[in-house]
Amino acid sequence: MYYVSTRNKALRYTPAQAIAQGLSREGGLFVPQVIPRLPGSALNMLKDLSYQQRAVYVMGMYLEHFTSFELSRATAAAYGPAKFDTKAVAPVRKVDNGTYCLELWHGPTCAFKDMALQMLPHLLSLSLKKNAEKKTACILVATSGDTGKAALEGFKDVDQTKILVFYPKDGVSEIQQLQMATQEGENVSVSAVIGNFDDAQTGVKKLFSDADLRGELGERGYFLSSANSINWGRVLPQIVYYISAYCDLLRSEAIQPGEEVNICVPTGNFGNILAAFYAKQMGLPVHKLICASNSNNVLTDFIQTGVYDRNRPFHTTVSPSMDILISSNLERLLYMLSEEDDQLVSSYMDQLNREGRYEVSPAILKKIQKFFAAGYADEGATKAAIAAMKREHDYLIDTHTAVAFKVLEDYREETGDETKTIVASTASPFKFSDSVLDALGVKNLRSGTDLLDQLAEVSGVEAPAPLATLKDKTVRFTGYGEKEQMKEVVREFLK
Ligand SMILES: *Cc1c(COP(=O)(O)O)cnc(C)c1O
């Protein structure tokens, strides 16, 4: 199976090329030329397998030239007990008879990005071998918080790679910042950028399209690669857990074979929910995908009207990993729903670049609304959802997950749709302790890592080990600068 660019489908790439390159030269995203279908018996077979085995099966469908042996080794390393604190890897917790919470934060950085970023380095290193690549991959990452740490953890001390992370200086939580500043590893660096996430992301995109920089680094034995959610190697491991969650529900007989479920996802860059869309296209029985946003509700408007318009105020919210106005992965959806019209996709992305706005055709809008529902939760509603979940179900959830639960509640009220629903839970509540404590009505918040103890005391839940041990780590990275200086930071790092 080959991959093509969303902006030029004439160019074909092997899976290994697509993963190693990350982003197509003309700015497009790599997509599989055809979406593989799950055979009729697959779900019944997968339901009795481990998470790692499910991952080998599902990823193998997309990765021609990768052997089962290679993928088995990779999944054992990525999702093994040294990395995840539960054997289930991505356990499903029942909230009530129709609502199931897919916990995606049992990995080393306590957020769902681990699900993909523990896997990507293995996929990349296998890809480099298959491509007979001699140069070292330098991973550049723009992060709104969770990606950065998860990428650093995933790539730390992986052969033939270096990683440099940029994050918005005032756009991440104190704990997120500490997680990155204390990162260990010989091949890593971290730098803050003055501005918001879009500034950092735009800056990184510019570096990728800078031919001079590419040439200069090439001579020094480096090439730039991406671990942002635009890399296909990020999307692919995320498809696995939706299929896995469905299998878990089958196994526990919460659903019958063939029964449709809804999937509700707190969304920023559109990567996580896009993976759910791929799972559906593969044949997973899914009724609606519910796209949940915070006050940066550009996607809510888009799904409801067909107009994508980023010309709006940017809000800094209690769910910072969703504070995004350009949802890059949407491009892949547009490609699929436009019947692979690469010219049309290019023109939308062009308009987005020039005017910050585009409007899709009525035919595309109709398809979007067939597959997706959308809503958003403001700050007050998000906090109220955390308090309600604790009170009614004795279940502690983080701010991003709370957005999803609130949007699901609204969706059910508006539509009367009673389809059983899987809600993606994207971070441990301890990662956003201050906001969670505030939502629970706690006054006199402590600061820094003391917040973890405070939340543990208030909730009766233990803080995850990777966060609890943060306070003993040494701060290594304190640098920051203007976005115009990012190129210099790269040069310095790869000296
Ligand atoms: C990244 C992130 C999201 C948003 O995921 P996308 O794939 O960008 O839509 C939601 N919640 C948390 C905790 C995240 O880290």
What is d(CA 324, CA 494) in angstroms, rounded to the nearest whole number? 29
Q: Check whether 388 has a pLDDT greater than 80.
A: yes
pLDDT of res. 494: 94
pLDDT digits (tens, 9 = 90+) for 230-276: 899 999 999 999 999 999 999 999 999 999 999 999 999 999 999 99
**CA 495 – ligand 1 centroid, Å:** 33
- β-partners of residue 167 are 192
The alpha carbons of the chain give a radius of gyration, in whole angstroms, of 21
- The count of other CB atoms within 10 Å of the CB of residue 387 is 15
- Binding site membership of 328 for ligand 1 (Cβ less than 6 Å): no
234 close to ligand 1 (CB < 6 Angstrom): no
Mutate to test the pocket of ligand 1, among 105, 146, 274, 324 (most ligand atoms within 8 A of CB): 146
Q: Alpha-carbon torsion 390, 394, 397, 402, what sign?
A: negative
pLDDT at 482 over 80: yes
60-73 average pLDDT score: 96
Least confident range of 136-150, 177-191, 355-369, 471-485: 136-150
Query: What is the predicted pLDDT for the residue at 88?
Result: 98
Place of tokens 């998860």: 150
C-beta 267 within 6 A of ligand 1: yes
For residue range 418-448, list pLDDT tens digits in order: 999 999 999 999 999 999 999 999 999 998 8
DSSP 365-434: HHHHHHHEEEEE--HHHHHHHHHHHHHHH-----HHHHHHHHHHHHHHHHH-----EEEEE-B-GGGGHH
The answer to whether 137 and 161 are in contact (CB under 8 A) is yes
Q: 321: CA distance to ligand 1 center in Å?
A: 5
Residue 65 has a pLDDT of 92
CA 119 to chain centre: 13
Q: Residue 65 Cα, ligand 1 centroid: separation in angstroms?
A: 30
Ligand 1 atom closest to the CA of 229, numbered from 1: 7
Domain spans, the chain: 87-112+233-432
d(Cα 54, Cα 156) in Å, to the nearest integer? 26
Model-level pTM?
0.93
User: Residue 158's pLDDT band (boundaries 50, 70, 90)?
Assistant: confident
Distance of alpha carbon 310 from alpha carbon 324, whole angstroms: 9
- Region 11-16: mean pLDDT is 95
Check if 425 has its Cβ closer than 6 Å to any atom of ligand 1.
no
Second CATH level (architecture) for the domain 87-112+233-432: 3-Layer(aba) Sandwich (3.40)
Sheet holding 188-193, edge to edge: 222-226, 136-142, 161-168, 188-193, 480-481
* CB of 321 shorter than 6 A to ligand 1: yes
Whether the predicted pLDDT of 305 surpasses 80: yes
Quick one: pLDDT band at residue 144, thresholds 50, 70, 90?
confident
Q: Tell me, in angstroms, the distance from the centre of ligand 1 to residue 11's CA.
A: 30
